[in-house]
């Protein structure tokens, strides 16, 4: 897709650069991994788990992202970001619940919540591109 529609790809990459500069990297890794797990994007799960490990994230926390709701390994802010990730990624006819949005707003500023939503939307775009174009992780790294 990068070669077929370079301007479109560049636009998405611009959004990626924005969220990378405006969302805490630890939280951003969790958001990217969680959305990728929910969407079943093996390429992105592989890439973002490796990126998080390289960034110093604990492997136990990465494994726990799949069951974050029951895990004691996440802070209140991380839990709010993960809950928001779940609802934005699985966006249904009722949108994001007031409970999840209020939980996010209780621990993040309005601007931070807006940036979290942009980060969640961005990884969902990447997931859809990777899945649709049948991108798979490398067999060896």
pLDDT given for residue 1 in this prediction: 83
**Model confidence over 11-35: pLDDT tens digits?**
999 999 999 999 999 999 999 999 9
d(CA 124, CA 34): 10
Residue 63, pLDDT > 80, answer yes
Identify the helix (H) or strand (E) that includes residue 101.
helix 98-107
pLDDT given for residue 140 in this prediction: 80
For residue 47, is it within any domain? Answer: yes
For residue 68, is it within any domain? Answer: yes
d(CA 48, CA 130): 13
Total domains present in the chain: 1
State the burial class of residue 64 (Cβ atoms within 10 Å of its Cβ: 0-12, 13-18, 19+).
middle
For residue 113, is it within any domain? Answer: yes
CATH number assigned to the domain comprising residue 81: 1.20.1290.10
Q: What is the average pLDDT across 38-66?
A: 97
pLDDT given for residue 64 in this prediction: 98
- Residue 129 exposure: Cα atoms within 13 Å on the Cβ side: 15
For residue 139, is it within any domain? Answer: no
Average pLDDT over all residues of the chain: 96
Closest by CA to 120, choosing from 34, 22, 55, is 34
- Quickly list DSSP for 83-99: HHHHHHHT--TT-S-HH
For residue 35, is it within any domain? Answer: yes
pLDDT given for residue 77 in this prediction: 98
For residue 73, is it within any domain? Answer: yes
**Model confidence over 76-95: pLDDT tens digits?**
999 999 999 999 999 988 99
For residue 137, is it within any domain? Answer: no
Task: State the residue range of the domain holding 105.
Answer: 6-132
Q: What is the average pLDDT across 50-75?
A: 97
For residue 36, is it within any domain? Answer: yes
């Amino acid at each position: 897709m990068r070669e077929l529609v370079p301007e479109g790809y560049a636009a998405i990459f611009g959004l990626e650069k924005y969220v990378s500069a405006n969302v805490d990297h630890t939280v951003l890794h969790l958001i990217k991994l969680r959305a990728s797990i929910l969407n079943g994007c093996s390429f992105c799960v592989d890439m973002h788990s490796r990126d998080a490990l390289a960034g110093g994230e604990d492997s136990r926390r990465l494994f726990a992202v799949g069951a974050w709701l029951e895990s004691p390994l996440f802070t209140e802010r991380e839990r709010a970001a993960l809950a928001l990730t779940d609802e934005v990624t699985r966006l249904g006819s009722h949108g994001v619940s007031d409970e999840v949005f209020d939980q996010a707003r209780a621990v993040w500023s309005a601007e931070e919540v807006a940036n979290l939503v942009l980060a969640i939307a961005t990884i969902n775009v990447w997931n859809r591109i990777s899945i649709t174009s049948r991108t798979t992780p490398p067999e060896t790294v």
